[in-house]
Amino acid sequence: MKNFLPGTALLCFAFLSCTTEAIQSGATEHTVNANQAFASRQGQGDATPANTQNPYDFAGAAQNELLDLYLDGNNSYSSIEEVSDQVALLAAQHYALGGQDIPPTISQEQIAFIVTNPSGALDTIGTSPALSASAAADFSEFMVTLDAAQDATFEEQYSLIITYEATLINNPAYSAADKEVILTSTSIARYTIYYRKKRKDRDWDTSVGNIVAGASGAEENTISAVAMAVVTGISINNGITQ
């Protein structure tokens, strides 16, 4: 297996330097469009996964959009590498953050580990090198709590996540890097749970695995978090392990 970086290496490394401001400036339109599409499909007044207080809400909206694009293509790939290639292609075609096309970094080895050992993958959050020690410990504890609440309603899980997000956003002890990684991950968590529990037009199962994959990808950048989560979710649902 390999890490998939579409385009040339030079382009990839140049785009990975995208700033938080650029990500946020490109996020708003996508997030609004995604939420309008969700509302149209679900009916007036139904629950939505959005949290406008999270500056990385785009990540979760993009994940669900990208997953729809993949599923609408009736793809039948049977390996993580094939799924990764197609998801990366769709991401490159449909997402430009801050006016730049940012190619996702997709670690196929990490996805295989998550798919075959989700509990072990969950444990790695507490040792993430991208987070400060206190942030990693707190995020790991939150993810364990969220995993234990899988049978709760969407509304209960949504409340759990946005309460944690509010605590994080307002905590000056967390660095900007801590907040970017964790808030990207919690956005993916909200939209992932919504996709499983509220999307009436999709038969889709999820586990904590694709949320952990999103957290892993968030250590690189937002679009990598999105792509990692999507590839992992597809792999889990189709029994793809390598």
Ranking 152-161, 187-196, 207-216, 226-235 by mean pLDDT, the lowest is 207-216
Please state, in angstroms and rounded to a whole number, the distance separating the CA atoms of residues 156 and 139.
19
Binned at pLDDT 50, 70 and 90, residue 45 comes out as very low
pLDDT at 103 over 50: yes
Binned at pLDDT 50, 70 and 90, residue 51 comes out as very high
What lies within 8 Å, CB to CB, of 36 at 6+ separation is none
Q: What is the pTM of this model?
A: 0.78
Is the pLDDT higher at 208 or at 179?
Answer: 179
Please state, in angstroms and rounded to a whole number, the distance separating the CA atoms of residues 158 and 54.
13
pLDDT at 9 over 70: no
> Is 2 in contact with 100 (CB distance < 8 Å)?
no
> Is 194 in contact with 64 (CB distance < 8 Å)?
yes
Binned at pLDDT 50, 70 and 90, residue 200 comes out as low
Q: Phi/psi at 205 (nearest 5 deg)?
A: -110, 150
**3-class DSSP state for residue 106?**
strand
Chain-wide mean pLDDT for the chain?
Answer: 77
pLDDT at 72 over 50: yes
**3-class DSSP state for residue 93?**
helix
Tokens at residue 240, please? 């793809």
Rg (CA), the chain: 16
Please state, in angstroms and rounded to a whole number, the distance separating the CA atoms of residues 59 and 23.
10
pLDDT at 182 over 90: yes
Is the pLDDT higher at 23 or at 14?
Answer: 23
- For residue 165, what pLDDT is reported? 96
- For residue 205, what pLDDT is reported? 61
pLDDT at 104 over 60: yes
For the residues 11-27, what does the mean pLDDT come to?
32
The residue type at 44: Q
Is the pLDDT higher at 185 or at 37?
Answer: 185
Please state, in angstroms and rounded to a whole number, the distance separating the CA atoms of residues 88 and 9.
14
